[in-house]
Amino acid sequence: MSKDKGKRGKNGGNGPERMKRKDYEEELHKLQVKLCHLQEWIKKKGLRVIIAFEGRDAAGKGGTIRAITERVSPRVFRIVALPAPSERQKTQLFLQRYIEQFPAAGEVVIFDRSWYNRAGVEHVMGFVSKEGYERFLQLAPKVEKYIVDAGIILIKFWLEVGKQEQEQRFQARINDPLRQWKLSPMDIDSYTHWDDYSKARDMMLETTDSEDAPWYIIHSDDKRRARLNCISHILSTIPHKKINNDKVKLPKRPNKNKYDDQRGLKGRNFVRELY
C-alpha cells in the first residue's frame, strides 16, 4: 500500500484517510468479479491453492476472508478454522491435522489461522515447550518447500494492526452485542502481551520468510483498504486468464401434464410474515 504523507488517518497516524464505503464497495465489486474469473481458471486447470492468514487479534482476518469468499463457491474456496486440538490430535504430528485439510485439484483452502499458531499464541501463552517452538521454526520452511515443490500454491499473509487501533476494536467488541462473540477469554489475556507477540512475530518472520514461501504483510488499520489490497495481491500472485464460457439459456418449461404446485401447500404451517 502506497504511503500518503499529506493526509492523516482517522487514528491520527500518517497515511491515507480511511476509505469511504462507497469507494470501497465499488472497488470490491470489481475485484470479486475477477475472483470469479480466477475461480473458473483454478477449476479448469486443477490448481491447488493454500492461503494462510495470520496476524494479531482483531487485525481483520475474518472480514478479509469474508470479502474474498462471499461471491465465490464454497466448493472451490473452502475456509478452515480449526478449533483447539482434541486429546487424540495432541498425540499426532503437529502439522498432521492441518495437512488433512490441504486442497485437492481445483480447490482453494483458506486457513483462518494456520500451523503458525505454534509460533504465535502457543509460544506466547506457554502452550508449547521451548524445544517444540524452536523445532517448529526450524522445520516449517522445509515443510513449506515440500508443499510448494508438490505443486501447491502457498500464499502467507500477516495482517498488521496498530496498538491503538486494536484497542479500539476490542472496545467495540465489548460494547456491541453483535460482536461480543468475537471476544474470547484468550483474546483478553493476549491483550496484555503486545510486546511478547511483537517479538514472536519478528522471530517468525525472520525464520520462516523464505524464497519458496514468503510472507506478505498487510497494514490493516483501515480494514477496507486491507481487504482490497489482499484480494488484489491474490489475483496478481496466481497467473490466470478469463475463461469465456458459452452463455447459458434457460430452456422452455413444458406445458404438458401441468401440475397445481400450490395445492399441496394449502393448510400447511407457514412462517408468520412480520416483514
CB 88 within 8 A of CB 103: no
Burial code (b: 16+ CB inside 10 Å, e: under 16) for 50-77 equals: bbbbbbbbbbbbeebbebbbeebeeebb
- Residue 54: phi and psi, rounded to 5, are -130, 170
CB 200 within 8 A of CB 136: no
CB 147 within 8 A of CB 82: no
Confidence class for position 183, pLDDT limits 50, 70, 90: confident
Q: What is the pLDDT of residues 25-43, one digit of tens each?
A: 999 999 999 999 999 999 9
Confidence class for position 14, pLDDT limits 50, 70, 90: low
What is the Cα–Cα distance from 68 to 31, expressed in whole angstroms?
A: 9
C-alpha cell at 112: 483462518
CB 76 within 8 A of CB 105: no
Q: What is the pLDDT of residues 134-150, one digit of tens each?
A: 999 999 999 999 999 99
Q: What is the pLDDT of residues 50-89, one digit of tens each?
A: 999 999 999 999 999 999 999 999 999 999 999 999 999 9
Residue 184 has pLDDT above 90, yes or no: no
User: What local confidence, expressed as pLDDT, does residue 257 receive?
Assistant: 83
Confidence class for position 6, pLDDT limits 50, 70, 90: very low
Q: Give domain 21-241's CATH superfamily.
A: P-loop containing nucleotide triphosphate hydrolases (3.40.50.300)
Which of 207, 194, 219 has the alpha carbon at shortest distance from 57?
194
What is the Cα–Cα distance from 133 to 128, expressed in whole angstroms?
A: 6
Could you tell me where the DSSP H helices lie in the chain? Answer: 21-45, 61-69, 96-99, 121-124, 130-149, 163-175, 185-191, 194-208, 223-237
Exposed, middle or buried, 193 (CB in 10 Å: 0-12/13-18/19+)? middle
What is the Cα–Cα distance from 190 to 183, expressed in whole angstroms?
A: 11
User: What local confidence, expressed as pLDDT, does residue 15 receive?
Assistant: 64
User: What local confidence, expressed as pLDDT, does residue 3 receive?
Assistant: 42
CB 58 within 8 A of CB 161: yes
Residue 8 has pLDDT above 70, yes or no: no
User: What local confidence, expressed as pLDDT, does residue 5 receive?
Assistant: 39
User: What local confidence, expressed as pLDDT, does residue 143 receive?
Assistant: 98
Q: For 244-249, which contacts have Cβ atoms below 8 Å and span 24 or more sequence positions?
A: 245/40
- Residue 60: phi and psi, rounded to 5, are 100, 20
